[in-house]
């Protein structure tokens, strides 16, 4: 197992006082909180921070950790010296955090025997329904229209024969029902944590997130498509071909359309009992003046229009 | 274990199937008092009240869990967590909009 440098993780000197440790933890916790952070490894970083803070915020655990000495390097192979914690009096394992998230290193020091054994005992009786668990699932827009299947790898903790929790990996296949929208949940009954004493397992909840799509974007069940049109199509009206998630359609552009005009295709948004709408948002694409004929056409427009787009700017 | 895929029975919690206060508590692993506190802060709103029983949108699950994680992990009180949840959602929307606008420029 690897030695973990909790001071380095929290970015403080070994001699830092408790206030400095707390300040640094709070600052880093805000930075790496998985709900707040966009960093890719936020979750792992946040777990590491919590583990480090769990030890260093508690003067008893901190003193015991300091006892291991200053000569260890992060990542160095580590075995706790026998009787390393003698002479320390510990109280009550873990506070508020989930102890199953912690590293082997933490567990070897604080997780067994002595004070740590209390940490794994669940509150409540011997027969206890398993905890509900939560995970996120990323899907494509097309999946919401057609339904899809996914294979998920779940990490479960189970109480082993020796009475201690063990991590077990397990793959399950999930059918993603048609008509799912962002933020909705899929429930898999009995796929959460195992129960204790013959009680049933908890449920697994999957929160649905959509991958960004190259053409469409979503607001609830409403789907938006940005559709480029030419200035003359927008001005004179036209029938143009437009993609939709359920297949291309002929779309009538009314005369005198403007950039940002929205055309509604009722019921072509995400499917459900009350399906969402699809809005086509017009973008006016300007043809480049890259030939003499094109330049002439622009000069003719200049003559034909008495057009003052900056009239209201007062300059 | 066999290689043949077997599919776990899955059910969709959508707007058509509002959940009870009890469901919300069990799903999120929090007490009814904690849910009520979040209703008081305006983080979630009951979708309906049928014969004195509250029903919630399944979308509330995400907000409740986020608010309580922020509360537990960062020591933010519920009013602050409520603000953070709303701001985070706004940032998410703005990011989505920005992605869209940046795409249109190309």
Q: Is the pLDDT of residue A96 over 60?
A: no
Confidence of residue B45 (pLDDT cuts 50, 70, 90): confident
A6-120 fold:
Helix Hairpins (1.10.287)
Q: Are B5 and A273 in contact (CB < 8 Å)?
A: no
Confidence of residue A93 (pLDDT cuts 50, 70, 90): very low
Q: What is the pLDDT of residue A114?
A: 40
Mean per-residue pLDDT for A100-108? 69
B interface with A, Cβ–Cβ < 8 A, is 5-16, 26-29, 58-59, 61-62, 65-66, 69-70, 72-75, 84, 88, 96, 99-100, 103-104
Mean per-residue pLDDT for A102-111? 71
Tokens in use for B103?
A: 């795409």
CA gap A293, A299 in Å, rounded: 10
Confidence of residue A270 (pLDDT cuts 50, 70, 90): very high
CA gap A29, A39 in Å, rounded: 13
Distance of residue A186 Cα from the nearest chain B Cα, in angstroms: 5
Q: Are A134 and B65 in contact (CB < 8 Å)?
A: yes
Q: What is the pLDDT of residue A287?
A: 94
Q: Are A191 and B59 in contact (CB < 8 Å)?
A: no
Domain ranges of chain A: 6-120, 133-210, 216-304
Contacts of B27 in chain A (CB under 8 A): 132, 185, 203, 205
Mean per-residue pLDDT for A144-158? 81
Mean per-residue pLDDT for A236-264? 94
Burial A63-85 (b: 16+ CB within 10 A, else e): ebbeeeeeeeeeeeebeeeeebb
Query: Which of these, B99, B100, B93, lies nearest to A225 by C-alpha position?
Result: B100
Mean per-residue pLDDT for B22-39? 89
Q: Are B55 and B20 in contact (CB under 8 A)?
A: yes
Mean per-residue pLDDT for B44-48? 85
Q: What is the pLDDT of residue A267?
A: 92
Q: What is the pLDDT of residue A91?
A: 47
CA angle, residues A213, A219, A225, in degrees to nearest 5 = 50
Tokens in use for A220?
A: 């609830």
The model carries a pTM of 0.67
Percent pLDDT > 90 in chain B is 11
The residues facing A211 across adjacent strands are: none
Distance of residue B80 Cα from the nearest chain A Cα, in angstroms: 13
Query: Which of these, A255, A200, A264, A190, lies nearest to A227 by C-alpha position?
Result: A264
Confidence of residue A123 (pLDDT cuts 50, 70, 90): very low
Q: Are A282 and A258 in contact (CB under 8 A)?
A: yes
CA gap B28, B62 in Å, rounded: 9
Across all residues in chain A, what is the average pLDDT? 82
Percent pLDDT > 70 in chain A is 81
CA gap B36, B29 in Å, rounded: 14
Q: What is the pLDDT of residue A115?
A: 40
pLDDT per residue as tens digits for the range A281-306: 999 999 999 999 999 999 999 999 98
Query: Sheet holding A216-219: strands in order across?
Result: A216-219, A222-229, A278-284, A262-265
Return the higher-pLDDT residue of A3 and B86.
B86
Q: Are B14 and A176 in contact (CB < 8 Å)?
A: no
Query: Is A216-304 the same fold as A6-120?
Result: no
CATH of segment(s) A216-304: 2.60.260.20
Domains in chain B (CATH in brackets) are 19-104 (1.10.1660.10)
Q: Are A233 and A255 in contact (CB under 8 A)?
A: no
CA gap A185, A208 in Å, rounded: 6
CA gap A121, A108 in Å, rounded: 17
Q: Does domain A133-210 have CATH number 3.10.20.90?
A: no
Mean per-residue pLDDT for B50-54? 78
């Amino acid at each position: 197992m690897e030695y973990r440098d909790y001071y380095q993780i929290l970015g403080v000197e070994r001699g830092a006082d408790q206030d400095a440790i707390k300040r640094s933890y709070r600052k880093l916790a805000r930075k790496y909180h998985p709900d707040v952070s966009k960093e890719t490894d936020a979750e792992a970083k946040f777990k590491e921070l919590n583990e480090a803070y769990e030890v260093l915020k508690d003067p008893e655990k901190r003193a015991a950790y300091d006892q291991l000495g200053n000569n260890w390097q992060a990542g160095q192979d580590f075995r706790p010296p026998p009787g390393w914690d003698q002479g320390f009096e510990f109280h009550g394992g873990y506070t508020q955090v989930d102890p199953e998230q912690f590293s082997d290193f933490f567990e070897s020091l604080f997780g067994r025997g002595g004070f740590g054994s209390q940490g794994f005992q669940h509150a409540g009786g011997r027969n206890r329904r398993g905890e509900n668990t939560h995970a996120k699932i990323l899907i494509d827009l097309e999946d919401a229209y057609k339904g899809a299947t996914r294979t998920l790898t779940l990490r479960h903790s189970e109480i082993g024969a020796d009475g201690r929790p063990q991590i077990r990996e397990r793959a399950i296949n999930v059918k993603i029902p048609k008509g799912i929208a962002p933020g909705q949940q899929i429930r898999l009954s009995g796929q959460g944590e195992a129960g204790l004493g013959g009680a049933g397992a908890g449920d697994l909840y999957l929160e649905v997130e959509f991958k960004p799509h190259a053409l469409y974007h979503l607001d609830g069940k409403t789907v938006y498509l940005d559709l480029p049109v030419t200035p003359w199509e927008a001005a004179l009206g036209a029938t143009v071909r437009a993609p939709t998630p359920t297949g291309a359609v002929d779309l009538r552009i009314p005369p005198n359309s403007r950039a940002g005009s929205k055309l509604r295709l009722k019921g072509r948004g995400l499917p459900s009992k009350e399906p969402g709408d699809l809005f086509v948002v017009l973008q006016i694409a300007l043809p480049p003046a890259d030939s003499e004929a094109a330049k002439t056409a622009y000069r003719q427009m200049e003559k034909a229009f008495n057009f003052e787009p900056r009239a209201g700017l007062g300059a | 274990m066999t290689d043949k895929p077997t599919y776990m029975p899955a059910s969709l919690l959508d707007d058509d199937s509002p959940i009870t206060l009890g469901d919300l508590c069990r799903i999120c692993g929090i007490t009814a008092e904690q849910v009520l506190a979040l209703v008081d802060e305006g983080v979630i709103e009951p979708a309906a009240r049928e014969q004195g029983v509250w029903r919630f949108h399944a979308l509330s699950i995400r907000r409740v869990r986020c608010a309580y994680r922020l509360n537990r992990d960062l020591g933010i009180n519920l009013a602050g967590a409520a603000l953070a949840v709303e701001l985070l959602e706004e940032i998410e929307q703005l990011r989505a909009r920005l992605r869209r606008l940046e795409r249109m420029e190309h």
